[in-house]
Amino acid sequence: MRGIRRAFPGVVALDGVDFTLRSGEVHALMGENGAGKSTLVKVLTGVHPRDAGEVRLNGSLIHPASPQDAQALGISTVYQEVNLIPGLSVAENIMLGRLPRRWGRIDWGAVNRRAEVAMGRLGLDLDVTQPVGSCSIAIQQMTAIARALDVQAKALILDEPTSSLDAQEAQNLFSVIRKLRDEGLGIVFITHFLGQVYDIADRITVLRNGKLVGEYETASLPRLELVARMMGRDPDEVAALESARPADAAKAEERKPFLSVRGLGRRGSIRPFDLDVAQGEVVGLAGLLGSGRTEAARLLFGADRAETGSVTAGGRSGAPGSCREAIAWGLGFCPEDRKAEGIVPNLSVRENIALALQARRGVLRRLSRKQQTEIADRYIRELNIVTPDAETPIRSLSGGNQQKALLARWLAADPRLLILDEPTRGIDVGAKFEVAKAIEELRAAGMAILFISSELEEVVRSCGRVAVLRDREKIGELAGPDVSAQGIMATIAGSQPKGSTEAEVRL
Amino acid sequence: MKRPAPRLITSSPPHLLMPLAALALVLLYDALTIPGFFHVEMRDGHLFGSLVDILNRGAPVLLLALGMTLVLSTGGVDLSVGAVMAITGAMAAGLIARPEGFVLAGLDLHGSAPAIVAVSLVAGLAAGLFNGALVAFADVQPIVATLILMVAGRGVAQLLTAGQIITFEHPGFQFLGSGFVAGLPFPVTVAVAMFLVTAALSRGTALGLFVEAVGDNPTASRFAGVNARMVKLLVYGFCGLCAGIAGLIGTADIKAADANNAGLYMELDAILAAAIGGTSLSGGRFYLSGTLVGALLLQTLTTTILTKGVPPVLTLVVKAAVVVAVCLLQSPKFRSVAGRRFRREAT
Amino acid sequence: MRRPPSQPSPSASRKGKEPLRFLNRSTFPFAATVLVFVLLYVAASLHYTGFSRPQVFLNLLADNAFVGVAAVGLTFVILTGGIDLSVGSAVGCGSIIIATLVEKQHVHPVIAILLVLAMGTTVGSGMGALIRYFDLPPFLVTLAGLFLYRGIGLLVSMESVSIMHPLFARLSMAGVPLGDAGSLQLSAIVFLLVVAVGIYLSRHTTFGRVTYAIGGSEQSALLMGLPVGRTKMGVYALSGFCSALASVVYAVYTSAGNANAGTGLELDAIAAVVVGGTLLSGGTGYVAGTLVGVLIFGVIQTAITFQGTLSSWWTKIAAGTLLLLFILLQRAMHRRAR
């Protein structure tokens, strides 16, 4: 692929990206959220047309117009969410759409035989007539791969194939990938797990903000450098980076602890972790995308039910069984996916801001229209929310202003601990600054804040303490002077920076 | 994905414009073709005339539609309202005409009309809460959950009437169907009162906000701490109560309980009235005033067809067409296709 | 829940049958249905003298044939996760059209029947098209279909029309004698044939498999490049055809057409499909289950007739209760599967 460009209204998702996949190699495609990985894959597989650039397969130009088209050309994809039909058999899931027929009816014998051959190629011997829904995720993954390979595939794209697998299952998958590689297939491997990249990939292409950062041999790219590249830093710069520290960061011990988490965890979500947040403290959760940041927040807030561990907050302890319970404990949560989980699109800015406070007051103690308008107007002013008026449906606001309205929703409800999951994602610089300012003011006013962000500068600037996550577990905690972009990246990459608080690392 | 609606539909007041225009059109047609359609006269202190008749006949549909509007707004639907009407009607008729069985069961009301109404309405409320429990706590899809009562409800009603059409004479109870208050038929009074009650319940408390939030974005509402289960339980319960009142009015009007035909296919009228009034069938914003206009429009259509001497069954065909039209107007896919075509023709 | 991590090769699911292995998520409701039917049938046979006579069983098939034929078509719709509420009034509408054509217009019965079958398929395709192209909710579109059929039927004739044509008399008497067991009536034969064709379609054709795929996960089916839109339209056309055929069976069975016939039949049919083990959310179920579901309600109805003191409304209450139980069973299994 040469000079690929793809723009969506308002955004250039890919800008002049080159990507080369050789046969017989495993090529990792790396980048943070919004880097353009999925857009690149979608251009390659014909989901999106490209605006500029060319795609060549074995030297000849190709123009796949649909995933089926791409598949016919020999480019197959296995998506992150396994796209299978749970009620149908393994064999059928592999063969559906090209079921062999005899005298007009489906030849089930041939279906099952061919499916067994296809699974056999992946080194699996199992009953292909069982429903795929009753198989483990690992087997489902294999089924999806077998489906992708059944046609004469030349290139196989695996989009986060290991995100739901445990270590052993991932290793099994890797041995299959190696086998396919040795058969001459070119494999694109997308993952957020750094360790796995070094296990399996021959080469690495890093994207950031829709641009190509570079293409590297895995062996010649140290982990720290990879992390720096993904986060958009020059590794030499990182060493020289002066981190601006909140003046009172070291005084955490003096503050009254508010939240205390012990051994909170859930299978397939995040391994048990400990965390403390004091009043008037901003604690960061840092890690790459998919490292378990959001999962940790969801467990805390009762959005997912924890399987182990407990939370102590506001004098109560246990594991919150629902969001309402967590809110009653004094927690608030601004979710990462603003559109799907944050805004109520067709309701007005006023109603969106009043919602959490109203929910807290209950059905009967209704905030009058006047009270709602007062609250909404106040936050529109304070947070500088750009909207024609408080009665505008929130869906017509820009992303940054939606985000500020969501922040206002929680400020109005006055929680004692606020969890902010990527509050600055996809908003412009001005709005980012305002969000950061609001966080600092809240902290100063005594609120406890758990801050999740992919932007290292923001984490470093806002947080007195940072818990670092990788591959769905908490791997360390940095405090005081150790909170620096370099320290975080080094922790993620696996080496210990100077003076790291090893004692706090609990695995 | 919600797209901005075409201008024609969104210009202010957004939800009322289309149904009001349609209502005006039908009324205009009536005025031109039916002599004396707008004639209203006072007889024995009671108002009579086609318009009064529309209000009177439209009252049960409006009652059902009020509850249905809230249910639709949560992203659900209640298919059982017709069956619930049959249940409460049968209950009341049974209590009046055959109290023996109820007395044996420990329920002796001595023929008191308020007591009969109260007990029957409890049955309606219970039916609604049953639906609500299935939807809110067992997470059953609303269509499926309310289908159960739609099937079994008529059986329960027949059980109460022992399979017969129970006729009765009870002046106190009959007032519900044929009485007059301040010159207006009593059903109209009840419908207006319930309209106000619904408005007070939904807009005077935070219930309306919660209902809309839950229907528009369930996840966001959950994260904001809205108790979606309670909201749904309440709303389905209220819908059952509304259906109960409509059932009592229907029964009192004909002085009989017909378990097989009471409220048959009324659920569709209720859904239609709400949908015509601008309430989204996929949940979100609801408009009680729109529902009011929608119910009036439906009844005016029906009355027009009846008055014109067209076979009354034609209303069924007309309603089928209205259903499809309203669905298409609400369908984002249709709007985008139609919008594109419109724009292409304009250029 | 996921399996334990130590599963390098899927030992638990390796070839070789374990006892009761056939009982998985999709077959369990079906097995429960068969069990319920057997229990009901045995209990009724023990309780009522004469219930176990073969003719009683054969009549179960014949008496419920028109519900069953409609239910088979509906099964495909429900397998895609949709619903068709128009089947009941389609029976009424079809029967009155046949009767009127044959008796008033003196059209040959065969032509009348073919016309009605074509009409049902066309209306079904039309509803399917609205659902396919404009993403309209199936229950509203088919509710409109319900009204349309009922309205047209009543416009044709408000009164029930008897069919005197000799061919109908012959058809309604036709049957295959089964010796001592009695005879299998034509309507029962049609029912069984439709079930057989339904099983074949669902098991052995791409149309059938895509039907399951859409109900299992429409998103996945689209990504797999399956003909989702075409199949969606197809199931409503099939359901339209089946309900038209049901109206023919009804007309033959009663030798009459009645626009009000089949009121509430859609609910009986849905109940039979669900009790037959088909998930209302789509994706799992068996056409054979629908046959058993229809028979379960038939047994209940027959038992109530045998009892004499119980009244017919108990059928509806029993149907509702069974429906409730099966839906709660499905929910419980769904939750456990998550």
The shortest CB-CB distance from C225 to any of A87, A97, A138 is to A97
Q: Are residues A193 and A103 in the same domain?
A: yes
Identity (one letter) of the amino acid at C203?
A: R
Distance from CA of A136 to the nearest CA of C (A): 6
What average pLDDT does this structure show over B331-339?
Answer: 76
Mark out chain B residues that contact chain A at CB-CB < 8 A: 2, 4, 204-207, 209-210, 212-213, 216-217, 219-227, 230-231, 234, 284-285
Q: Enter the tokens of residue B183.
A: 């010159």
* Contact at CB, C152 and B317, closer than 8 angstroms: yes
Query: Residues 6 or more apart from C156 whose CB is under 8 A from it?
Result: C93, C96, C97, C100, C259
Residues B93-138: pLDDT tens digits?
A: 888 888 777 776 777 777 788 888 999 999 999 999 999 999 999 8
- Co-location of A180 and A274 in the same domain: no
CA B220, CA A359: separation in Å to the nearest integer? 12
Render pLDDT for C33-53 as a digit per residue (tens, 0 to 9).
888 899 989 998 888 888 888
Name which of A66, A88, A267 is nearest C213 (Cβ-Cβ). Answer: A88
Whether residue C26 has pLDDT greater than 70: no
When pLDDT is cut at 50, 70 and 90, the band that residue A168 belongs to is confident
C36, part of any domain: no
- CB contact, 8 Å: A47 with chain C? no
**Which of B16-20, B83-87, C26-30, C322-326 comes out lowest in average pLDDT?**
C26-30
Q: Is residue C2 in a domain? A: no
CATH code for position A491 = 3.40.50.300
**Could you tell me if residue C301 is inside a domain?**
no
Does residue A436 share a domain with residue A407? Answer: no
For B270-279, the pLDDT digits (tens) are: 998 998 888 8
Q: Which residue has the tokens 């994602």?
A: A425
User: Could you give the percent of chain C with pLDDT greater than 70?
Assistant: 91
What pLDDT is stored for residue B65 in this prediction? 95
CB contact under 8 A, A131 and C24: yes
Within chain C, residue ranges assigned H as helices are 28-47, 54-63, 65-79, 87-103, 109-134, 138-156, 166-173, 186-204, 206-216, 218-223, 228-254, 265-275, 287-307, 313-337
Interacting residues of A122 by C-beta distance below 8 A, sequence separation 6+: A142, A145, A146, A149, A176, A179
Task: Give the amino acid at B315.
Answer: T
A203-250 residue pLDDT tens: 998 888 778 888 888 888 887 788 778 777 665 554 443 333 444 444
Mean pLDDT score, A121-125: 81
Residue A472 has pLDDT above 70, yes or no: yes
Tell me how many domains chain A contains.
3
Tokens representing C295? 């028979």
Angle subtended at Cα C128 by Cα C62 and Cα B80, rounded to the nearest 5 degrees: 65
CA dist B15 and B3 (Å) reads 16
- Name every chain B residue with its beta carbon within 8 A of the beta carbon of C268: 151
- What is the distance between the alpha carbons of residues A48 and A54, in angstroms, rounded to a whole number? 13
Q: In what order do the strands lie in the sheet with A316-318?
A: A270-278, A257-266, A308-313, A316-318
Q: Identify any residues that bridge with C184 across adjacent strands, giving them in sequence order.
A: C176
pLDDT in tens, A101-112: 887 788 888 999
The answer, yes or no, to whether residue C308 has pLDDT greater than 90, is no
Percent of chain B predicted with pLDDT > 70? 94
- Residues of A near B (Cβ–Cβ under 8 Å) read 301, 303, 323-324, 327, 333, 335, 340-347, 351, 354-356, 358-367, 395-396, 409, 413
Asked whether residue C34 is domain-assigned, the answer is no
Note the helical H segments in B2-141: 7-10, 14-33, 50-73, 81-97, 99-104, 113-136
Q: Which domain covers residue A501, as residue numbers? A: 236-330+415-507
Tokens encoding B303: 């009355």
**The domain containing residue C120 runs over which residues?**
54-263+278-284
Once rounded to an integer, what is the mean pLDDT over residues A84-99? 87
- Residue A478 Cα distances to A240, A241, A451, A457, angstroms: 18, 16, 14, 15
Residue from A403, A400, A413, A343 nearest B216 by CA: A343
Cβ neighbours of A344 in B, within 8 Å:
212-213, 216-217, 220-221
Q: Using omega within 30 degrees of 0 as the cis cutoff, is the peptide bond preceding B13 cis?
A: yes
In the 8-state DSSP scheme, what is residue A305?
Answer: -
Distance in angstroms (rounded) separating the CA atoms of residues B11 and B208: 23
Q: Does residue B2 have a pLDDT over 70?
A: no
User: Given an 8 Å threshold on Cβ–Cβ distance, is B158 in contact with C139?
Assistant: no
In a domain, A45, yes or no: yes
User: Which letter, b or e, does each residue of A146-173 get, where b requires 16 or more Cβ atoms within 10 Å of its Cβ?
Assistant: bbbbbeebbbbbbbbbbbbbbeebbbbb
pLDDT score for A374: 93
* pLDDT at residue B62 is higher than 50: yes
Confidence at B4, pLDDT banded by 50, 70, 90: very low
Q: Nearest 5°: phi and psi at A262?
A: -130, 115
Of the listed ranges A133-147, A366-380, B184-198, C180-194, the least confidently predicted one is A133-147
Q: What is the pLDDT of residues A352-365, one digit of tens each?
A: 999 999 998 888 88
Q: C26, C284 in Cβ contact below 8 A?
A: yes
Tell me: the pLDDT tens digits for C189-202?
A: 999 999 999 999 99
Distance from the C336 Cα atom to the nearest Cα atom in chain A, whole angstroms: 12
A29 plus A144 within the same structural domain: yes
What ipTM was estimated for this complex?
Answer: 0.82
Higher pLDDT among residues A58 and A451, named by residue: A451
Each residue's pLDDT tens digit, A322-375? 888 888 888 999 988 888 889 999 999 999 999 999 998 888 888 889 999 999
Helices (runs of H) and strands (runs of E) counted in chain B: 16, 6
The answer to whether position A71 is within a domain reads yes
Structure tokens at B39: 């004639």
Residue ranges of E strands in A256-351: 257-266, 270-278, 282-286, 308-313, 316-318, 331-334
- Separation between Cα atoms, residue A448 and residue A455, nearest integer Å: 20
Which 8-state DSSP code applies to residue A348?
B
Helix (H, G, I), strand (E, B) or coil at A474: strand
| Nearest-CA distance A68 → chain C (Å) | 6
Q: Nearest residue of A to residue C334 by CA position?
A: A133
The per-residue pLDDT for B345 is: 60
The interaxial angle of helices B113-136 and B142-161, nearest 10 deg, is 150
Give the closest of C15, C16, C212 to A87, CB-based: C212
Query: What is residue C295's predicted lDDT score, i.e. its pLDDT?
Result: 93
Torsional sign, CA A480, A483, A486, A489: positive
Which sign does the torsion angle of CA A71, A74, A77, A83 carry?
Answer: positive
Let me know if residue C94 belongs to a domain: yes
- For residues A114 and A480, which has the higher predicted lDDT (pLDDT)? A114
C332 domain residue, yes or no: no
- Residue C10: pLDDT over 70: no
Fold of B47-307: ABC transporter involved in vitamin B12 uptake, BtuC (1.10.3470)
* Mean pLDDT, residues A113-136 taken together: 85
Position A289 pLDDT exceeds 90: no
Tens of pLDDT, residue by residue over A251-264, are: 545 667 788 888 88
**Residue C189, Cα to own-chain centre: how many angstroms?**
15
- Describe the crossing of helices B186-203 and B288-307 by its angle, rounded to 10 degrees: 160
pLDDT digits (tens, 9 = 90+) for C214-248: 998 888 888 888 889 999 999 999 999 999 999 99
* Rounded CA separation A333/A298 (Å): 9
What distances in angstroms separate CA A307 from CA A294, A321, B196, C284, C334, one per listed residue? 16, 11, 48, 30, 20
Is pLDDT above 80 for B59? yes
In a domain? residue C44 = no
Q: What is the 8-class DSSP label of residue A268?
A: T
Comparing A78-87, A210-219, B251-260, B337-346, the range with the smallest average pLDDT is B337-346
pLDDT tens figures, A15-57: 878 888 888 889 998 877 667 787 888 888 877 777 777 788 8
Radius of gyration of chain C (CA): 21
Q: Which of A393, A413, A433 is the last residue of a domain?
A: A413
Which residue stretches of B162-226 are H helix? 171-178, 186-203, 207-216, 218-223
* C247 close to C149: Cβ distance less than 8 angstroms: no
For residue C20, pLDDT over 60 is answered with no
pLDDT at A454: 77
> What is the least distance, in Å, from the CA of A105 to any CA of chain C?
5
Q: Tell me the pLDDT band of C82, cut-offs 50, 70 and 90.
A: very high
Confidence of residue B346 (pLDDT cuts 50, 70, 90): low
Judge whether B310 is closer than 8 Å to chain C, CB to CB.
Answer: no
Nearest residue to B23 (alpha-carbon basis) of B307, B274, B276 = B276
Single residue among A413, A433, A456 that ends a domain in this structure? A413
Judged by CB atoms closer than 8 Å, whether chains meet at C331 and B138 is answered as yes
Would you tell me how many other CB atoms lie within 10 Å of the CB of residue C205? 16
How far is residue A265's CA from residue B346's CA, in Å, rounded to a whole number? Answer: 59
Question: Per-residue pLDDT averaged across A464-477, rounded?
Answer: 86
**Average pLDDT over chain B, rounded to whole?**
85
In whole numbers, what is the pLDDT of chain A averaged over residues? Answer: 81
pLDDT band at A140 (very low <50, low <70, confident <90, very high): confident
- In this structure, the strands spanning A186-190 and C175-177 are unpaired
Question: How does pLDDT run across A417-429, given as a tens digit for each residue?
Answer: 999 988 877 676 6
| pLDDT attached to residue C303 | 86
| pLDDT reported for residue A1 | 58
User: What pLDDT is recorded for position C337?
Assistant: 55
Chain B: residue nearest A351 by CA?
B209
In a domain, A463, yes or no: yes
Q: For residue C313, what are its two tokens?
A: 């409304």
pLDDT in tens, A417-470: 999 988 877 676 667 777 888 888 888 888 899 998 877 778 888 888 888 888
**CA distance linking residue C210 with residue A189, whole number of Å:** 30
User: Same domain, yes or no, for A408 and A434?
Assistant: no
Give the pLDDT band (50/70/90) at residue C14: very low
Residue C271 is assigned to a structural domain of this protein: no
Starting at the edge strand that comes first in sequence, how are the strands of the sheet with A26-30 ordered? A75-78, A155-159, A186-190, A26-30, A203-208, A211-217
Report helix, strand or coil for A188. strand
Distance from C-alpha of A196 to C-alpha of A495, rounded to nearest angstrom: 16
Res B6: pLDDT: 39
Cα B293 to Cα B23: distance, rounded to the nearest angstrom? 8
Query: A33 with A162, same domain?
Result: yes
Task: Report if residue A10 sits inside a domain.
Answer: yes
pLDDT, residue C9, reads: 37
Q: What is the number of alpha carbons within 13 Å of residue A102 lying toward its C-beta?
A: 5
Q: Give the tens place of pLDDT for each residue, C121-168.
A: 999 999 999 999 988 888 889 988 998 999 999 999 888 999 888 888
> Residues B290, B82: contact at Cβ < 8 Å?
no
In the prediction, which pLDDT does A240 show? Answer: 43
| pLDDT for the residue C289 | 92
pLDDT, average across residues B16-34: 85
